[in-house]
Structure 1
Amino acid sequence: MKKLILSAIFLLFGFHCAISQEVKFSGTLETLWGAGAPWTDKDTARGRMTLGETSFTGKIDSYFGKSSALVEGSARYDSIEDSEDFSLSECWLDYTSDSLGLRVGRQKTAWGKADGIDITNVICPKDLSSLAVMTTNEKLAIDALRFSVNGNQFTADAYWIPFFTPAKLSGAKFEKPESKMSKGEFGLKFSGYFSVLDFSLYGFYGRDDMPFLNYTMSAEGVNVTGEYKDMAMLGMDAAIPIKETVLRMEAAFFPERHFQKSSNSIIEEKMFSAETLSSASIESSLQRNEISALAGLDWMPEGWTFTAQYYCDYVFGELENLEREKALQHGATLSVSKKLLADTLELSLSGVLGLNDFDSFIKPVVTYSLSDQINLSGGAYVFIPGPDRDGQYGSYKDLSTGYVRCKFSF
């Protein structure tokens, strides 16, 4: 069914291009090489190539009257894994009148006003397939129908997502739930735009894009399976401009969200169930209410950009038997960038600090534009453990990498 719908969209896209008043073709060719930092483990990372990707991305836009169409695809070769990947990033048809809009096909959208932190941004799944995309918070497209209503100072978007797309994980793949009309995902966004305030309200009902792992014992060892659980979210955001400064706020509530149980807890429960001859099913998760929030500040004086954010996440109820150890998880981010030499050179430094374990992730980057088409950049992904324990970011300390990148755009 999914292939049939995408094939129909391709045919309509081809017809649209044939009759379009304007067709644009653009794309990028990019090479990224990286090696383990000098302070990483000498046996597994130090000096070894950790990044080796060459990719091509092409995009076709066509316009005819009040309609438009877009298709974007990419081809990537990973020298480290010796693997090739061909993907259709986006492919949609769109019609927009003065007050109504309709878009159908594979599309990307971003919710919320946070920078690099997901609070309400749950509609598109995560891409965690490589170090490069993990550090840029890349998202995957969804196959959806979006209906929009547009006014002078507001917009409302309703999404129907009949096909579930899970997060893309490196080396891990689990069976997706069966696609049914009654089990589609739904999203709703309402935004208002005023001179002193922009705000949005969000609602989502679907599935968590990360799998919940279950463990069973066998003669060969421990078998791991994954299951995708239902999830709901209610959220809001707001941005207030004050001269060169923008204040941002965002919050989300997840009622009865599923949280992963620890592997030891699952295995012990199954062993006890076997000993007592019980046939009760052992769940891989427990449900708890969760609230997430963020407050941020953007300051943009001449040639400079400063962004600072504080974010937090709180889970209500007992955490016993869960993988999560602390009810409150919080942190802060900081990003600074400066353009020089007639905007041909950009220096930037961004980072995130986990305030539970005081672990951090730092990303310095230097980018130079040789021309309007060619950019050269060099930088690093630096993961620093906390003083007492590694923490979320510190656990990747041996993935700290220095890299160079060359990008040609057309």
Structure 2
Amino acid sequence: MKHPVQAIAAAIALAALCGTARAQTISDDVVKIGVLTDMSSLYADATGKGSLVAVQMAVEDYGGKVKGKNVEVISADHQNKPDVGVNIARNWYDNEKVDAIFDVPTSSVALPISALTREKNKIHINSGGGSSDITGTQCSPNTVHWTYDTYALSNVAGKAMVKRGEDTWFFITADYAFGQALERDAANVVKEAGGKVLGDVRHPLNSSDFSSFVLQAQASKAKVVGLANAGGDTQNALKQAAEFGLAQSGQKMIALLMEITDVHSLGIKSTSGLIVTDAFYWDMNDETRAFSKRFNDKVGHMPTMIQAGLYSATTHYLKAIEAIGTDEAPKVMAQMRATPVNDFFAKNGKIRIDGRMVHDMYLFEVKKPEESKGDWDLYKLIATVPGDEAFRPLDKGGCPLVKSN
């Protein structure tokens, strides 16, 4: 018979061991990922079905299991409405036992989803939303901003254009969180580089008529008309700018967020010469081409940076769970931050304490029709900008986590 002290010590040790075993397990015996995206509106090509497929591909390539437990992927359309998105996310977390929400384009939806995820102590990996506030004043220990943001888009393209002498700007801006952040960040870059902002005009999300906005830009006589919008809004603005002859009158158009699906939809003739900032291009190397061919076979178009980023993010998330043996959010986040990102999307990428995944960004120019060798042969590389130069410095975003770190 054990001495009472020995018995107590053994009981304590056993309890500690059981506690450790419980801590290092997969909740509900499944890792559940929710892809919350735009399936039906102006961002559906850049995100949508392709975002879901990218996550599914990553899970399948990982073997469909982590630590012997199934990985399940569900999806929903947030319709670009914050209330719809938050209600879906709340139901997923409270009732569907979702561990992590991926994608979430449209910053006005992404920001409250990030806040809700922190409240529920789950994980949000954002690829589709753009506002740099996601890792700035509204940063969260539970959110990673994976692919791009308004600061990087503005910083890479804005500096390059002002340096070339295109130093007076007018903005046509989508009137919601993303567009406002994109204009703000681009205007700051232009001014810091020695340029001037001559004016701006705001348009509603998902606009079809840009004529009055284009005419105001034309009347400004600015050398550069910056489009601080995305998706269908960017396409419509470019089409109508061409109809009004902005390029012929000497003004340079820049789409601050332009996906390869937008360029393909508009056609190389009407987009030739456009400057584009991007985090990914399918034809960079053998790795990007291999992934993109598989993706194209499933979806019918080459992946956007958002979709390629989601494959990368999903794989990194699953690797983190595999490494530590649990899907408990704080531990998974710590492991993801501690592990460099090395795949076809990013080399030596790193996740900072503010949630920003830092990686190289690229400046492209859309090819002339005679330079293109195929349907998706659209870009030529102008510059590779190292991540630490492309993204906002850690101490400049106003993230409260930086002060406490």
**TM-score scaled to structure 2, two decimals?**
0.25
Q: Which has the higher strand share?
A: 1
Higher relative contact order (CA 8 A, sep 6+): 2
